[in-house]
Chains A and B, each alone.
Chain A
């Protein structure tokens, strides 16, 4: 079983829709939670980050962490065609190595 599970999609939505992307994880030591966006043939770019449980909002993006359920979410409001990309969740613990553990990524397509 993978430490981090993420639905690979593809997820296709019309422009303006609310998008929900999710990851589940099994390692309770994870404390830092990030979302990366990756456009085709590019490297991942940090989109959102949170520490421990709670919500964080930045413009059209909201990140949620529920540590009791080991479940993290990214919401995109008023989705745009430019949001079409692969979204990867990335997690790491508080101690030890700083390497990130990634989900497999969800490919999102926003139709104009």
Chain B
């Protein structure tokens, strides 16, 4: 199916554990993004990628690591999860050929206990 998919949809993990959130898109969009959404803050940019092997920090990158070895995948890793990283995480992709074409995944709801 064409689109952008995130997995898992829900995840509960313990403080200090490493956890990876997956994002896969089928359009070959060059740009991909990770946002987190918290009450009162809207969506805040964690990391973004302009192409395979090109990534850069966003507004709230501390505690997160990304990689992009293939255009279609953009995993987000929490190296040592903390309770402050409890949030809903959204992945998005964008085609540089359009100015407004941003498509979001359905989100991963992560709880760190």
Contacts and interface: CB of A to CB of B under 8 A. Distances in A.
Contacts of B105: 43
A99 to B, nearest CB: 5
B107 A99 contact: no
Contact of A51 (B33, B58, B99): B99
A99 B61 CA distance: 14
B100 A43 contact: no
Given A32-B99, A34-B100, A97-B48, A43 B106 contact: yes
A8 B40 contact: yes
Interface stretch (A10-18, A68-76, A77-85, A102-110): A102-110
Contacts of B106: 42-43
Q: Chain A: interface residue count, which band?
A: 20 to 34
A62 B42 CA distance: 22
Interface in B82-113: 90, 94, 96, 99-100, 102, 104-107, 109
B56 interface: yes
Given A49-B100, A99-B58, A44 B43 contact: yes
B45 interface: yes
Secondary structure class of chain B's binding surface, majority of residues: strand
Contacts of B104: 43-45
Contacts of A102: 35, 42-44
A98 B107 contact: no
B52 interface: no
Contact of A99 (B33, B40, B99): B33
A46 B48 contact: no
Contacts of A51: 99
Contacts of A101: 45
A41 interface: yes
Contacts of B56: 97
Contacts of A8: 40
Query: What are the 4 closest A-B residue pairs judged by CB atoms, nearest first?
Result: A43-B104, A104-B42, A102-B42, A49-B100
Interface of A: 4, 6, 8, 32, 34, 41-46, 49, 51, 88, 90, 97-105
